[in-house]
Amino acid sequence: MTSREVLVEEGSLCLIYFDERRKYIVRASRGAELHTDKGVIRLEDLIGIPYGSTCRTSIGIRYFVLKPLLVDIVLYGFKRRTQIIYPKDLASIILFSGISSGSIVVEAGTGSGVLTAFLAYLVRPEGKVYSYDISEVNIKVAKRNLELAGLLPYVTLKIKDIREGIDECDVDAVFLDMPDPWNALEASYNSLKSSGILVAFMPTIVQVGKIIKALYEHGGFIKPTIFETLLREYKPSVDELRPRTRMIGHTGYILVTRKILVQ
């Protein structure tokens, strides 16, 4: 074993990779098994082997044991109750929010906890995410998902309508993923520190029009930036290197603005 190799410990998460369609998040544990159409994997056999190892199922099919990234845990391990924000949008949302370790942020709504997880991953260990949702079921699902990712200590989940007010003050950023973000502008303004960031994610252009109108009427934010992200994958084939026939097109619009002091 080289100094760069990391062994799978009991209780560690692993990404089981057969191919681009068959990926599984499992926990290396004694007495547990993963049943797939490619055969059975005894999860205790993963304990003590290096991440990156090549293994075989009960019927001899090859698979790889990889150390999962957060995006792997979210895509293949999270239970989904609501439509999630895609990684291509998450990257832009996080980049333009300017948050980092130690940031204090507010999010609404929690949903399945996907954006929550990435926010928590960035603000840890000293920062905090306060996530609001009106659904108790959503909060329970998000709690389970955040526990799986090991990020729950950096999140406070709240069953509350953010439109009625935000409990936290002087936060670095507010993220709105809700049907009517324009109705949360005043609460967001009161919670944000001066020059703080407001990010809203909306699937329809009608919503964008409504929040722009509300922003200009409010007067406490700079002129917003609005965009969408498109990502086109290519087939990784030497003999057929070209864009894939199918792609995820429109997913949502991202609006970014900043709080200013009203004179």
Query: Residue 156: how many CB atoms within 10 A of its CB?
Result: 14
Residues of the chain with CATH 3.10.330.20: 13-68
Q: Where residue 248 falls among pLDDT bands split at 50, 70, 90?
A: confident
The amino acid at 68 = P
pLDDT at 2: 57
Element (H, E) at 133: strand 128-133
Element (H, E) at 35: strand 33-36
Do 251 and 86 form a contact (C-beta atoms < 8 A)? yes
Is 187 in a helix, a strand, or coil?
helix
Q: In terms of DSSP bridges, do strands 192-202 and 171-176 run parallel, antiparallel, or are they unpaired?
A: parallel
- Cα Rg, the chain, nearest whole Å: 21
Q: Where residue 221 falls among pLDDT bands split at 50, 70, 90?
A: very high
Q: Where residue 247 falls among pLDDT bands split at 50, 70, 90?
A: confident
Do 99 and 172 form a contact (C-beta atoms < 8 A)? yes
- Any idea which fold 73-258 has? Rossmann fold (3.40.50)
Nearest to 233 by CA among 214, 250, 246: 246
Q: How far apart are CA 75 and CA 91, in angstroms?
A: 14
pLDDT at 38: 96
Cis before 125 (ω within 30) = yes
Give the tens place of pLDDT for each residue, 154-188: 999 999 999 999 999 999 999 999 999 999 999 99
Q: For domain 13-68, is the CATH number 3.30.70.1400?
A: no
Residues of the chain with CATH 3.40.50.150: 73-258
Element (H, E) at 136: helix 136-149
User: Which residue reads 């306060």 in tokens?
Assistant: 130
Beta bridge partners, 232, equal none
Give the tens place of pLDDT for each residue, 15-55: 999 998 999 999 999 999 999 999 999 999 999 999 999 99
